[in-house]
Every structure is written in structure tokens, then in C-alpha cells.
Amino acid sequence: MRELLTPAQMGACDAFTINHGTPGIDLMERAGQAVADVAKAMTPKNGRVLVLAGPGKNGGDGYVAARLLASAGYDVRVAALGDTRKLEGDAKWAFDGWNGDVLPATELDTSEFAAYGLILDALFGAGLTRGLDGAAAALVQAVNHAEKPVLAVDLPSGLDGRKGQALGPAVQATSTVTFHRLKPGHLLYPGRALCGAIRVADIGIHHDAISAAGFTAQLTGAYLTEHLFDLSADAHKYARGHVLVIGGPPEKAGAGFLSASVALRAGTGLVTLALPPETMAGSVGQYPALMRARCADARDLARLLRDDRLTACALGPGLTPNEATRQMVYAALDSKTALVLDAGAITAFAGMVTPLFERIMARSAPTVLTPHSGEFKRLFGDSETNLSKIERAQKAARGSGAILVLKGADTVIAHPNGRADCTYVNANAPPWLATAGSGDVLAGIVAGLLAQPDTAHNDPQHQTATVALGVWLHGEAGQPSGPALVATDLEAALQTVLQRVSPSQFIAVQG
Ligand SMILES: NC(=O)C1=CN([C@@H]2O[C@H](COP(=O)(O)OP(=O)(O)OC[C@H]3O[C@@H](n4cnc5c(N)ncnc54)[C@H](O)[C@@H]3O)[C@@H](O)[C@H]2O)[C@@H](O)CC1
Ligand SMILES: [K+]
């Protein structure tokens, strides 16, 4: 269930299934059934339901649901957008199966919407080709104005299922039922907020359909913990990897400490925090497990990185975006360790990306860039409005040679190979994870995971999954604190998450 399908890929899955012997009307009947089942759970039996049916197959699902709800005792009213005499194929079949009246949507008295217990939005789904305007836009605005529970069929009408954006007005749903797999629009903002609670219904799509139609990315999840380093019982600390974190000047020194301490929590055996001389004093008591090294400039860093026991390096949290930082990044890029570039190490290259990307591409060890949307724009621009966030991350990864972590409530992780099986969307991050220091923690988790030995080998799928695991763990760790979360809570929460997901290897001896 983890593959994400664009509406076009979903259409290809429908077609594949139909070509392999399942009539389209069977798929539509199951889709309508799934919608009716959720509708029943949202409104009391005998409740009043308004079904708004559009001119395509999304409307077809609406007519099926209307029939099933009416036969279950609901008081169903159907309004059609567009000329129902033009309905074709499966949608026409569904329309013909509805025995009640169909009112033209333009004749609806929208002030009566408040009298319904549920509005079923079956206006537009995967077939949306442009922003809504005219009668469709007016209807959608009236639905939103009514403030009644709304169940969207497949997608809230007006929402682009590929991009997660609406070019015109879009339905604000209470709940959305989609079919077979999630679409990017259900996860990418602002689409995710328009969908409400999302359910994915099985409508009997052929099990080979996705391999034939392709997918665009994968949803992260607990399954990624299979990429946690499998620790042998007699492992020594050097066998568990060694991370070097570069800390910044005193006024931003906390960032490096956050990254470093959490890198240790992520399971790496040793972490050294490299600090400029003015930050070296103080704070040892709080972080006794960290080793420290003096690092005044790029030359010091190059010297530190000559230690070939180092397996990963995190650079950027707490660093000032300037020439000195750029030189440190170059020194780090010349090393053989996995590298996470964040914050100041990203912004330092605004408007001067060519030398950065050339050096990243020349590396054999993985390089990870973790920009939030502002940092992303500084490196890659924001002119490509027709691309989804997934496609933007894939393109930026290809262009930079780095594994891209495009952060946000809908973080996308993409490998430079651009492959869907090396692309992830993360959806477990609570809104309060957007807090000072949260990004430093993420950089530390990712470096801590990449440092561990079995992630060092050069398999793009494995490396990207490891980075995606870091993003997922960060989201999980952010949940228990609630809105009071501060970044330092994440370290203890990460410990709890890892306790939960790590299999115990200890042999209990009965005495
Ligand atoms: N056999 C299948 O392919 C299945 C399809 N299903 C349903 O079919 C839907 C897709 O159906 P369609 O491909 O017919 O697409 P839609 O029903 O989403 O919309 C297509 C219609 O809307 C018009 N349109 C698009 N954008 C518009 C705009 N901005 N303003 C006004 N009109 C606009 C198009 O000209 C076309 O007539 C899915 O979302 C799903 O609900 C499900 O029944 C499962 C099976
Ligand atoms: K819809």
C-alpha cells in the first residue's frame, strides 16, 4: 500500500484491470460501495444526503453511492453539474441505475445546503484538467460555505491529485475516500489539509497493474525500520560508525550539540563534535558522551576528516553562511564519508551552486541536502510551478547529485537517480515539529543512521530508504510532546521510538 500513484497512473491501473477482464462498471460499483459505506458512518441512518455529481466517472461513483444509500434508507437528493444527456460509458451506466430525480446543480438553492446531514462531493476527481470556474466554482464555494460534513469521492473537487494544489476553488472535505492507493495530492500540502480524514478503498485493481502503470513515490512508514542497522551482539563502538558534527560560534552552538547528541542516539557508536576555539569551553557536563575536537577552519576540518574511521559528517547547523563555511563544505566534500549538508551549509551556496553540485557529483559516498522550502528556493529557484513537490525534489536531486530531503509537513526524499523506488513522501510529522532546532535534530538523525556500516555500501535504494527512515523517525519522535515540543525533547522521544521498533536480541535465561 505504500506506492503513490498520480491520477494518470491510477487511470492506467484502471485500464489495465479492465483490459484483463474486469468490467469498468464493476470497479465503479465497488468505488460507489466504498463511498456509501463511509457516508453511512458519517451520518445517521435515514439522514439527508446531498450528492453532487459531475460530468465524468467521479460523478458515476456518486450515482452508485446515491443508489446504495437510498436503498439503505437514506433520504438522498442528487444534483448534476453539466448536461446529463452527455454522460458516457460507465458514468452513464451509473446514472441510469439511479431511479430518483436529478436536479441541475445550477437550480439548487444553496441556502438549503445547511439542511443536509452530509454532502457527497462527486463533482471532479482524477480527470480535473484546470482550475474550477463558473458554475462549478460557485457550487464548490457554496459547499464550503455550508459548513456541513463533506465526503469527497477520490479527491476534493478542484484539487489536483498530482500536485496537491488547487488552481481555483476547491472543496474542503471532512473525509475523502480514494481508491487502491493514495495519490500525491492526498499528502502534499495544501491538498492534504483539504482532504480531511483519508481512507483508501480496495476496488479490485489487478495485482500486476502498478508494475505495468508505474508509481511516482512511496509513503514512508514503520516498514522502513528494516533499514535499521542490525547490531551484532559483540559489536564494538567503531563497528557502529563514527560521526563528525561541525558546530558553530557560541551564539549558535546549541545547534551542533543537538545534531551531535541525537546522532549518538540514532545508533552510531561514536560522535565527535568539532568546535571553533571560542565554543570549546563549557557545556561538557551536559554532553559527556560526545568527544570534542578543535576546528577553527577548513584546514582543521580537512585534517580531522583524514581519520578514516569517520563514516559520516554533518555540517551546517549553527554555521554562518559565508566563505569560511563554503571552504569547510569543500573540505567535507573532499572526504570519503557520507555527508549531510544542512542550514548554513546550504544557504552559503545561494546563487553559486555550480561548484557545490560539481563536487557532490564527483563523490562516491552519499551526500544529503536537507533544505526547507526557503533554502530550497535559494539553491534551486522556484520557477517551476507546474511541478509537484515530489517532481521538484526529484529534479533537484538529479541536478545536484545529492539525496534531497525537501522538508516540510510533507517532506519529500529523492535520490539523484530520480527513480520512484528511491523517492519517498513522509506524512507523520506533527505541525509542532516546526520549531527551533528541529532541523538540527533531523540532520543528526540522518548522519547517525548513514554512519552505520551497512548503509555505507553503494545501493541507492538502501541509502535513500535510510534517509527516509531518518525523516520518519524524526516525525515519530515529534508526536508525544504535543504542541509544547521543544527540540531537546526529540532526543528522549527518539530513544522511546527506537525501543519500540528495534527487535530485542537478548536471550532471556530462565533461572
Ligand atoms: N473505470 C475507472 O477508470 C474508474 C474511475 N473511477 C472514478 O473516476 C474518476 C475519474 O473519472 P474521469 O476521468 O471521468 O474524470 P472526472 O470525473 O474527475 O472529470 C472528468 C470530467 O470533468 C471535466 N473537467 C475537468 N476539469 C474541469 C474543470 N476545471 N471545469 C469543468 N469541467 C472539468 C472533463 O472535461 C470531464 O468531462 C476517479 O476520480 C474516480 O472517482 C472509479 O469509479 C473507479 C473506476
Ligand atoms: K470529488
**What ipTM goes with this model?**
0.98
Q: How far is the CA of 123 from the centre of ligand 2 (A)?
A: 5
CATH superfamily of the 236-501 domain: Ribokinase (3.40.1190.20)
The answer on pLDDT for 95 being more than 60 is: yes
| Residue 127 Cα to ligand 1 middle (Å) | 4
d(CA 22, CA 206): 9
Ligand 1 lining (C-beta closer than 6 Å): 11, 14, 24, 27-28, 31, 54-61, 90, 124-132, 136, 153-154, 179, 203
Give the Cα separation of 302 and 441 in Å (integer): 24
Q: Is the pLDDT of residue 223 over 90?
A: yes
DSSP string for 24-45:
HHHHHHHHHHHHHHHHHHHS-T
- Measuring from atom 21 of ligand 1, which residue has the nearest CA? 56
Does residue 281 register a pLDDT over 90? no
User: What pLDDT is attached to residue 282?
Assistant: 64
Sign of CA pseudo-dihedral 270, 275, 280, 282: negative
pLDDT of 232 above 90: no
In the chain, which segments carry CATH 3.40.1190.20?
Answer: 236-501
Dihedrals φ, ψ of 403, to 5°?
-75, 120
Task: Give residue 45's pLDDT.
Answer: 85
- Number of the ligand 1 atom closest to the C-alpha atom of 64: 43
The confidence band for 43, taking pLDDT boundaries of 50, 70 and 90, is: very high
Higher pLDDT among residues 323 and 285, named by residue: 323
Range list for CATH 3.40.50.10260 in the chain = 3-215
Q: What is the CA(61)–ligand 2 centre distance, in A?
A: 9
pLDDT band of 103, cuts 50, 70, 90: very high
% of the chain with per-residue pLDDT over 90: 88
Nearest of 352, 423, 440 to residue 389 by alpha carbon:
423
Torsion of CA 335, 336, 340, 341, to 10 degrees: 30
pLDDT at 506: 58
Find how far residue 376's CA is from the centre of its chain: 16
pLDDT over threshold 70, residue 284 = no
pLDDT band per the 50, 70, 90 thresholds, residue 1 = confident
**What CATH number labels 3-215?**
3.40.50.10260
Residue nearest to atom 11 of ligand 1 (CA): 57
Segment 463-479 mean pLDDT: 97
Which bin fits 422, alpha (ψ -120 to 50), beta or left (φ > 0)?
Answer: alpha
Please give the distance, rounded to the nearest whole angstrom, from the Cα atom of residue 136 to the centre of ligand 2: 12
Neighbours of ion ligand 2 (CB under 5 A): 121, 125, 152-153, 157
| C-alpha 68 – ligand 1 centre gap (Å) | 20
The pLDDT confidence band at residue 193, using thresholds 50, 70 and 90, is very high
